[in-house]
Each structure stands twice: as C-alpha cells, then as structure tokens.
C-alpha cells in the first residue's frame, strides 16, 4: 500500500514513523523509535548530513539504509545497530510510503501527474477529515453508483447535515449523476477507473453550462486522482488519499491543483463543494455497519466487482482488528 503523509511524523497502520529530509535533498522514512532505549527520533531529533540523530544519546542513523554510523561515547558501532527504513517516493507534491504486511518490495509506482510537475496546475488548498470506518469502505463509494443520487442530489447549499439536505429552501436545485466503475486490466490491475458525469437542474431545467465530467483513477487501496474537465472552468485535479491511523480510523486528505490561469475562486469553490458532499458520506460511514455479505440487487453489481478487485490488497498476514489479551498489537 502507498500512503500519503506529512512531515515530520506519521502514525500509520500501528507504526510510528519518522520522516526527515537529508543534506542530499532526499526525504527518508524510518522507524520512529531508536533501538537503543526507545527515544522518538521525530521528537527533538536532528538531521546531520544524511542521518537523523537521536535526541537521547546522539546515535546517528543513515537515512538510506538505517545503519547507525556514530555513537558519540562508543569506540565501535556494532554492525547490528540499525533502524528499519521504509521504501518511499516523492511525487505530485506528496511523500508516499510503501507498506506490505509480508515485507514485499514495491510492486508498482505512483503515476506522475505531469501538469503538477510542470506547474501548469498549481496548489489551491486541501481539506482533512478523520473517518471512523474500515479503509475498504471509503473507495467502495466509487462503485456504489446508487448512493450518488440518494445522498448527493440535493443542492450543496443544503450543507452536509443529512437531516437538512432535503430542505425545501433549495429544493429547486438538483444535482444529477451518472457513473461507471471498472477495474483496469494487467499490468495495471492494481488500478480502477470511475467515470462520473454531473449535471445541474434549476426548476427542472438543465443548465448544460454547469455540466462537469470527472475521471477518477484509483491507484491501490488508498489513492485516487479526481480529474475535472469543464468547457469554460478549465481543468484540475483533486488528489484524494486515505491513510490508516488506528483500527477503524482513517485520515482522508483532499488536495486540489488547478490551471494557474484560472481565478483562485474556482478551485476553492470546487474543493468546498467536494468537502460538503464528502461530509455527507462521513455521517453514514461513522454510523454504519460493515456487511461482509450485503443484500444486493443486480443494479449493485459494481459493488461485488469492486470487492473482488479490492481483495488483492489483503494477505493472510494482514492486520485484523481483534481483541488481544496478551499483546498490544493490532
């Protein structure tokens, strides 16, 4: 799994990680706790050259391979003195870390969004949410076509509170959605595509000027590229990341990049609209029950296809949320 994180520390999937940028310009990700006496390298630690120095006793660990190269008070550094390093990469303005419960090396890369790298699209802000749900539930939204018109048809001016989204005040404004979800074939079978067509009606009249097409590309279990295209409002992207923090707690971040020749109010409005719609889903996620064998009709077939596709990201050693009487792991 590839996750997106923010410096200097990332508590993810039960791990505490320290992130630092070395003198060579690279960002490195290592286990946060010093193997000597357990100090947190991300709290008070220092970057020295291409190493991170422990704040407790001054041990220095190399970012490239985790090897300890200096112990200030010792004549010799033991060969076994090292910390775990995590495969990572910086792309699209983010730092990604590869996690596999079996210790398998990275099997695929994060695609580059050339418009971000070339600065044709520029950053216009982000939103952050914490959702009390299993990580699989969040991207399943993309395959759950029927929920779009049930949850997201009402005008965004009705807000995100599900008690009021059917308010009569803005009932004359309706969003309509058409969507299609499909997994990608080899060699990109770790990816899936969703095509979304959005239309807006006011007093039952369709305003084609406000039609928006969205192409959503999911890469692995926790990263989605939402590319917006509009005839007059231009093009841009929302990078959607889901990072497990604790059992049944996910950090979800949306970052928006947009054409630099467009007024900033346009991407900020899009991000706000996305936030309102997403918070409607959060209310449901935070209070729903996961059903391993849901009662589905034929129109829900994409959900079953999604679950078969998502199953590739599990293994026998995948962490499970169970009560443990003799340990603290999850």
Contact 248, 133 (CB under 8 A): yes
Give the chain's mean pLDDT.
Answer: 90
Q: What is the pLDDT of residue 329?
A: 47
State pLDDT tens for residues 26-63: 999 999 999 999 999 999 999 999 999 999 999 999 99
Distance of CA 100 to the CA centre of its chain: 16
**CA pair distance 258, 245, nearest whole angstrom:** 29
Q: Which pLDDT band holds residue 321 (cuts at 50, 70, 90)? A: low
Joined tokens for residue 197: 């067509």
Contact 279, 271 (CB under 8 A): no
226 C-beta neighbours (distance < 10 Å), count: 21
**CA pair distance 18, 180, nearest whole angstrom:** 40
Give the helix/strand (H/E) hosting 258. strand 249-259
State pLDDT tens for residues 55-80: 999 999 999 999 999 999 999 999 99
Joined tokens for residue 142: 């993309």
Q: Please identify, in words, the CATH class of the domain defined by 114-313.
A: alpha beta
Domain edges within the chain: 9-86, 114-313
Joined tokens for residue 303: 């959900």
Joined tokens for residue 22: 């070395």
Q: What is the pLDDT of residue 210?
A: 78
Q: Percentage of residues in the chain with pLDDT exceeding 90? A: 78
Alpha-carbon Rg for the chain in angstroms: 23
* Among 57, 58, 60, residue whose Cα is nearest residue 22: 60
Q: Is the per-residue pLDDT at 5 higher than 90?
A: no
Joined tokens for residue 283: 């209310």
Q: Which pLDDT band holds residue 207 (cuts at 50, 70, 90)? A: confident
Q: Which residue has the higher pLDDT, 103 or 284?
A: 284
* Among 49, 89, 86, residue whose Cα is nearest residue 70: 49
For 42, 81, 134, 157, the CA distances from 291, given in Å and listed in that order, are 39, 46, 11, 32
Q: Is the per-residue pLDDT at 8 higher than 60?
A: no
Q: What is the mean pLDDT of residues 206-226?
A: 91
Q: What is the pLDDT of residue 233?
A: 86
State pLDDT tens for residues 88-143: 999 999 999 998 888 899 999 999 999 999 999 999 999 999 999 999 999 999 99
**CA pair distance 99, 130, nearest whole angstrom:** 20
Token look-up 């870390």 returns 97
CATH 3.30.70.960 fits 9-86, yes or no: no
Q: What is the pLDDT of residue 316?
A: 79
Q: Which pLDDT band holds residue 328 (cuts at 50, 70, 90)? A: very low
**CA pair distance 88, 201, nearest whole angstrom:** 45
Q: What is the pLDDT of residue 101?
A: 85
């Amino acid at each position: 799994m590839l996750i997106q994180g923010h410096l200097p520390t990332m508590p993810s999937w039960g791990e505490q990680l320290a992130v630092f940028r070395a003198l060579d310009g690279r960002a490195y990700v290592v286990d946060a706790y010093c193997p000597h006496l357990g100090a947190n390298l991300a709290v008070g630690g220092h970057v020295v050259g291409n190493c991170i120095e422990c704040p407790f006793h001054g041990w220095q660990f190399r970012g490239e391979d985790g090897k300890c190269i200096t112990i200030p008070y010792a004549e010799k550094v033991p060969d076994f003195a090292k910390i775990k390093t995590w495969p990572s990469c910086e792309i699209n303005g983010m730092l990604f870390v590869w996690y596999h419960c079996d210790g398998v090396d990275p099997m695929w890369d994060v695609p580059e969004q050339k418009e971000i790298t070339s600065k044709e699209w520029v950053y216009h802000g982000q939103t952050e949410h914490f959702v009390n749900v299993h990580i699989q539930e969040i991207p399943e939204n993309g395959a759950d076509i029927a929920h779009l018109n049930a949850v997201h048809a009402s005008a965004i001016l009705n807000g995100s509170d599900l008690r009021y989204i059917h308010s009569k005040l803005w009932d004359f404004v309706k969003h309509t959605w058409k969507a299609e979800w499909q997994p990608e074939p080899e060699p990109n079978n770790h990816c899936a595509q969703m095509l979304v067509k959005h239309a807006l009606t006011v007093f039952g009249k369709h305003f084609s000027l406000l039609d928006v097409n969205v192409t959503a590309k999911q890469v692995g279990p926790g990263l989605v590229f939402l590319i917006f295209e509009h005839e007059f409002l231009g093009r841009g992207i929302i990078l959607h990341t889901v990072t497990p923090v604790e059992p049944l707690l996910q950090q979800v971040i949306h970052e928006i990049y947009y054409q630099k020749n467009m007024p900033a109010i346009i991407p900020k409005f899009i991000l706000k609209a996305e936030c309102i719609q997403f918070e409607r889903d959060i209310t449901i996620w935070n209070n729903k029950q996961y059903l391993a064998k849901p009662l589905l009709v034929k129109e829900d077939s994409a959900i079953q296809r999604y679950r078969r596709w998502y199953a590739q990201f599990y293994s026998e050693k995948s962490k499970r949320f169970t009560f443990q009487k003799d340990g603290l792991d999850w």
